[in-house]
Structure 1
Amino acid sequence: MDDGIDYGRYEEGRHCNYWTLDRALRREVRRIYGDAEYEWAEARLEAFGETVGHAIADNADYVDDHGPELDPYDERGDVRNFVRYPAEQFENERLAYEAGIVADAFEAPPGRDEPMPLSHTLAMQYLLCYADPGFDCPVAMTAGAALVLEKFGGEDLEPYYEALTSREYEDLIEGAMFLTEKQGGSDVGANETRAEYGAEADRWRLYGEKWFCSNVDAEGTLALARTADAPDGTAGLSMFLVPHADPETASGPVTKGRLLEDGPLEPDEVNDQLYRRLKDKLGTISVPTAEVEFTGAKAILVGEAESGFRQMTEMLNLERLSNAAASCGIVGRVLLESKIHAANREAFGQPIDRYPLMRADLVDMTVAHEAATAFTFEAARLLSERERAARAGEGADDVSRLLRLLVPIAKLRTARIAVDTASYGMEIRGGDGYVDDYVTNRMLRDAQVLPIWEGTENVLSLRRTAGPRARGRPRTASGGDREPARSGLAPGAGRLRGDRRGGVSRPAGGAVDAYRCGRRVRPAVGQATRPLRVRRLYRRAVARGGPSRTRGRERAAGPRRPAVRRDRTRDARRARDNRRRPVRARGVRPDRPTRGDRSRRALEVGDRRRRVTHSSSSAASSTSITPCSTALSTRTTSSSGPSSPTSASVTFSVSPTNSGKSVPSASAVSFLTR
């Protein structure tokens, strides 16, 4: 594969600039940013890619070997809830947050009059995951908590919002979301944590257990709890901000600077909660995950009571796209490591990237990476568009309905691609990839959590496409009914799949929105599932201009010559002579072709080869395979025959979105959905 980069000059995928080495990310950022936004962001993304490739990558390897530790009690037996981090973790936090990975999306950065779109935060998270996917979890939840407080927070939560979006590390607090309970899991409506209001103290207190709490010591933690006399299911849940420190005795949010300067909190400053233990996890070591018991923890109500589930979905949308960006970052790092190893590793007399099978594997990984990146940032563009409209007081119902489908699909498919690619990247390195000395080991361990975070594949598949439902009906975290028989998914889903039986009629009434949204999302579904046809097209195009498939020789420039040169006059004369020559009856099987038959067949095969070679060369020279989605169009084709399945083919074409903007040449990348 010749992408203009000499991977042989790198020893490994560190001490390099991840922004300059990732063409897929650069192309998507250029496509979805406005001209002014891109002009401002390009230099900063390049600088952040350099920081991640050097300082953050080195620190991340150390943190993976020396992860956080928990001291739940002090020497006197008082609750301490103190998490010890290595100094390298604090350094990574400082580098990322002061680069504006969260602040730029909420406060106008230097040199701009307004905040950057959320897609800018996702692009920086993408780069961060080249080095430390675990640290991306606190970053994503900090941005998500800030988004919730921006929309639903009151004056009492303003200090926490300002600390979540601070550009100065000493004034910063991180966010978290305590959602999972032992008996509930994805069934959020079964949560049992309760909230009690003390009128005499004018304070809410939480009682209950949370089972899987990542970034456990965050000062800006959001949690769901059920108030007294609230209905069952998700309709009875309210959202609360539960600080790590007691909000009364600590006198406001306890920032990073205060913790670094003063050390652990005093016993009377610790909120009424107990961090029982840290989970012993397979990966994402840099983010501490614990079990938490609320024993009357003081909390602040966010927005209105019994609106917690709706508020949580605002955070989940961003979290799921952050999950998708993390998946793309992991795939990018694994692909980079694989290309570097293939360029440097010699076997049987030449680098292994010269062999057809290895080249085909690298092409497949590249296609998956570019497709996942294009899909993720198209969804990110829509999310940024919706948030921009919301800040301007405008409606964006169509975009919101589309996001309900695109975001779960992006999270689901990119997570699975990350796991598969990380696994094969380890195989490419061989036995060395299986040991801890190389980053491919950690990338696979970190990738394994991505299909689980923010909803498993089955939970995301049950996400309902219709509009709002009646309050009080039990629902899962994905928004699907707990009783499948009551789900209203059938009409919209039947149209979305392209039901071949013809038994699903056009929906009416409340399902019309689902039907319309399904028609719009079909191209996205096609892109996100099983890129079969594009692999053949991409592999064929790359093979035309890369190293030769025979003996490692470089292919000469110019049009490809026919594989076989034959003297057609001589062949025709020989065939005519063979036909005239009598065939001896002795020793000739009647069902065996004669010499003349074999000659005619050779002529026909040679002609077909020349025609295929000529047409393939013309097609390869006129088509640029560059997976990049700007405009989506759908066409449905049927194979001949009554039993042939119907397939939906999605074509992505590139067109300029701003006058004068330089965009890639037109491309045709088809994803086949069966």
Structure 2
Amino acid sequence: MNSSNNPWPTHEVANQVDELSGYNLFASDPALQEGLQRSGADWAAAQFHGYGETLGSAETYALADAANRHAPELHSFDARGRRIDRVEFHPAWDQLLAMYRGQGLVGLAFEPEARPGRWAAFAAGFYLHGQAEAGTLCPATMTQAAIPVLARDPQLAALLPQLRSPMHDPRDLPIAQKNSLWIGMGMTEKQGGSDVRANSTVATPLGGAGGREYSLRGHKWFFSVPMSDAHLVTAQTEAGVSCFFVPRWRPDGSKNPVQVQRLKDKIGNRSNSSSEVEFLGAWGQLVGEEGRGIPTIIEMAGYTRLNCVIGSAALMRQALVQALHYSRRREAFGRRLAEQPLMRSVLADLALESEAALQLSLRLAQGFENGERAWQRILAPAAKLWVCKRAVEFCGEAIEVFGGNGYVDNGVMARLYREAPVNSIWEGSGNVMALDLLRAFAREPQELLALLDQWQSEAEPLLQGEIEALRRQLTGDPTPLEAQARWLGQRLVLLAQAMLMRKHAPAFMADAFIATRFASRDGGRIYGALDLRAFDVAAILERAFPQ
């Protein structure tokens, strides 16, 4: 460059690779396509081919970046001092919500027609959207989980058309004036955390609507998406912890006195707002029976925990695709990164982990559709324990592929890394999940033991020994089980993934996954710390993201 013509000379930028956009998320994922067809949901393939193209566009990546870079802002008062408690979002937030809602995914799993494969189709759509932007999946998850609960209430069931609506209505208006609704949740309080029985918020009967109207006073330490049209809230009554439907606007059209104290300054999930609130005599309607709030929460948590697993699998998939794209184009020491033997081990290991997480997510969704208790009540918390934790390490490893470029906070990789921990914490941390699977097993041991019997009859010798060892641990002395709950959850999930990979993935994928997760006790402690010379690494990487 001639410095006389340019007063600001610089060097030529070479060997730099932009993060990936402008590709079809669905068309580039053979494992997802196969899973959709296998589940009888191939009727959704054309829709997701179009949605995958939209989500992978540069425009959508720009929306995701803008929604997370410009965090929600709380406006407590209007210009004249009236209390409004309004959260202002960047326009990209509403565009992303409209995209998701427009796919009909909020109510798909609970649609009245009950099409076969509807849960797998929902999981696929959730998985695709989560690769582009994860924060918008929070209100989507809570609204979805509320549908079966509200459907059983004769009064609140009238809201189902608005809950299932494919339209996004961002207007801050009373429910009767809205085309569609978003539902949030308010369970957690300062003193209790996951222990909802320690809640101190009190609900006092008002006497209206057949004795189902209450006044709520207290606080919530985490109140998700405060601009939702209504929240499902737990509060104490004389009968114990109960669940209430608390709208943003009271039935008379006045604002419900739910005061937003502040928005949480979170590590990730920046596009989405989480808040602390005070209930100052807020109007609420009882959901279900008084004193039966905990079972209501448990039912909803089953659905939301499934979404945590799918959401983590989505983050892993996007991190893997970005890492493969970058490493196939970036050169170091005279070769592309993806040609370097050690890097290939890392990438192949990530590819195996990603597909195993997807296979497990789709099988869990099928278990919910079929009402399989072992998958719903035991495998689901175990999967949330394992997959959500693996996603944190996974995204950290993928950032290393980019080196310093990955650690700079102006691209996709940093957002994925910040986003990953939320699914491990939301809807119950790792210890809560480990203990929950033990409780579920104690209540219905025959469900899991029958599943282990099925696996035993189908498994290869190496896995048969692992299954038998797990069975002995579960049915032996119960005293040490609590301290070993994480180990049990880990082994259970790895066995489930191994069985699913053997059944549904190509042999070169299943062989490598099983050998690296079970045959070598020293392998796989960190990604890439294994010997893949006996396996077809090229085929593994090509399946993960075809060139």
Q: Deviations over 1:279-326 (max 9, x none)?
A: 111110111100011111111111211121111112111101100111
Q: Deviations over 1:427-481 (max 9, x none)?
A: 1101111112221111000112121111111111111035669xxxxxxxxxxxx
Q: 1:115 to 1:401 in 2, by over 3 A?
A: closer
Structure 1: runs of 5 or more not aligned:
1-7, 231-235, 250-268, 387-398, 470-493, 506-518, 548-624, 628-674
In structure 2, give the amino acid aligned to 1:214.
Answer: S
| Contact 1:276 1:291 (8 Å CA) reproduced | yes
Q: 1:543 to 1:319 in 2, by over 3 A?
A: closer
| Contact 1:363 1:539 (8 Å CA) reproduced | no
Q: CA deviation at 1:539?
A: 5.5
Match of 2:186 in 1: 178
Matched, 1:144 2:145: yes
* CA distance in 1 between partners of 2:150 and 2:429 (Å): 26
Match of 2:405 in 1: 432
Match of 1:465 in 2: 440
Determine which of 52, 68, 82 is the counterpart of 2:55: 52
| Contact 1:496 1:522 (8 Å CA) reproduced | no
* CA distance in 1 between partners of 2:302 and 2:475 (Å): 34
Q: Deviations over 1:513-564 (max 9, x none)?
A: xxxxxx99976452469824497686632247799xxxxxxxxxxxxxxxxx
| Contact 1:105 1:115 (8 Å CA) reproduced | no
Q: 1:539 to 1:372 in 2, by over 3 A?
A: farther
Aligned length: 463
* CA distance in 2 between partners of 1:546 and 1:372 (Å): 15
| Contact 2:434 2:489 (8 Å CA) reproduced | no
Q: Deviations over 1:591-612 (max 9, x none)?
A: xxxxxxxxxxxxxxxxxxxxxx
Matched, 1:213 2:223: yes
In structure 2, give the amino acid aligned to 1:352.
Answer: L
Q: 1:207 to 1:115 in 2, by over 3 A?
A: farther
Match of 2:110 in 1: 106
In structure 2, give the amino acid aligned to 1:248.
Answer: D
| Contact 2:19 2:412 (8 Å CA) reproduced | no
In structure 2, give the amino acid aligned to 1:96.
Answer: Y
Q: CA deviation at 1:29?
A: 2.1
Q: Deviations over 1:152-206 (max 9, x none)?
A: 322x213432211112224111111111110010111111111111126853111
In structure 2, give the amino acid aligned to 1:67.
Answer: A
Matched, 1:318 2:303: yes
Q: 1:153 to 1:200 in 2, by over 3 A?
A: closer
In structure 1, give the amino acid aligned to 2:362.
Answer: F
Match of 1:276 in 2: 261
Matched, 1:79 2:83: yes
Q: Deviations over 1:32-91 (max 9, x none)?
A: x22xx31x1110111111121124322011111112111112233332011111111111
- Residue pairs, 1:7-46, within 5 angstroms: 11-31=18-38, 33-34=39-40, 37-38=41-42, 40-46=43-49
Q: CA RMSD in A?
A: 3.3
Match of 2:237 in 1: 227
| Contact 1:81 1:270 (8 Å CA) reproduced | no
* CA distance in 2 between partners of 1:11 and 1:544 (Å): 23
Match of 1:160 in 2: 159
Q: 1:16 to 1:626 in 2, by over 3 A?
A: closer
| Contact 2:24 2:49 (8 Å CA) reproduced | yes
Match of 1:343 in 2: 328
* CA distance in 1 between partners of 2:474 and 2:109 (Å): 47
SS in 2 for 1:83: strand
Match of 2:68 in 1: 64
Q: CA deviation at 1:114?
A: 4.6
* CA distance in 2 between partners of 1:82 and 1:274 (Å): 10
Match of 1:456 in 2: 429
| Contact 1:13 1:333 (8 Å CA) reproduced | no
| Contact 2:64 2:132 (8 Å CA) reproduced | yes
Q: CA deviation at 1:402?
A: 4.2
* CA distance in 2 between partners of 1:358 and 1:421 (Å): 14
* CA distance in 2 between partners of 1:102 and 1:545 (Å): 36
Match of 1:122 in 2: 123
| Contact 1:205 1:298 (8 Å CA) reproduced | yes
| Contact 1:207 1:294 (8 Å CA) reproduced | yes
In structure 1, give the amino acid aligned to 2:534.
Answer: R
What is the TM-score of this pair, normalised by structure 1?
A: 0.64
- Residue pairs, 1:256-295, within 5 angstroms: 269-295=254-280
Q: 1:354 to 1:521 in 2, by over 3 A?
A: closer
- Residue pairs, 1:343-382, within 5 angstroms: 343-382=328-367
In structure 2, give the amino acid aligned to 1:328.
Answer: A
Q: CA deviation at 1:133?
A: 1.2
Structure 1 stretch 440-449 or stretch 534-543: which is displaced more? 534-543
Q: CA deviation at 1:10?
A: 8.7
Structure 2: runs of 5 or more not aligned:
1-14, 170-178, 445-466, 479-487, 499-515, 525-529
Q: Greater helix percent: which structure? A: 2
Match of 1:298 in 2: 283
- Residue pairs, 1:556-635, within 5 angstroms: none
SS in 2 for 1:540: coil
Q: CA deviation at 1:403?
A: 2.1
In structure 2, give the amino acid aligned to 1:188.
Answer: V
Q: 1:502 to 1:30 in 2, by over 3 A?
A: closer
* CA distance in 2 between partners of 1:295 and 1:546 (Å): 57
Q: CA deviation at 1:344?
A: 0.7
* CA distance in 1 between partners of 2:304 and 2:160 (Å): 18
In structure 2, give the amino acid aligned to 1:210.
Answer: K
| Contact 2:345 2:531 (8 Å CA) reproduced | no
Q: 1:544 to 1:301 in 2, by over 3 A?
A: closer
| Contact 2:385 2:489 (8 Å CA) reproduced | no
In structure 1, give the amino acid aligned to 2:360.
Answer: F
Q: 1:539 to 1:84 in 2, by over 3 A?
A: farther
| Contact 2:135 2:272 (8 Å CA) reproduced | yes
Aligned-residue identity in percent: 32
* CA distance in 1 between partners of 2:88 and 2:185 (Å): 20
SS in 1 for 2:283: strand
| Contact 1:194 1:206 (8 Å CA) reproduced | yes
Structure with max Cα Rg? 1
What is the TM-score of this pair, normalised by structure 2?
A: 0.78
* CA distance in 2 between partners of 1:502 and 1:143 (Å): 36
* CA distance in 2 between partners of 1:281 and 1:240 (Å): 27
| Contact 2:258 2:277 (8 Å CA) reproduced | yes
SS in 1 for 2:278: strand
* CA distance in 1 between partners of 2:60 and 2:147 (Å): 24
Matched, 1:248 2:252: yes
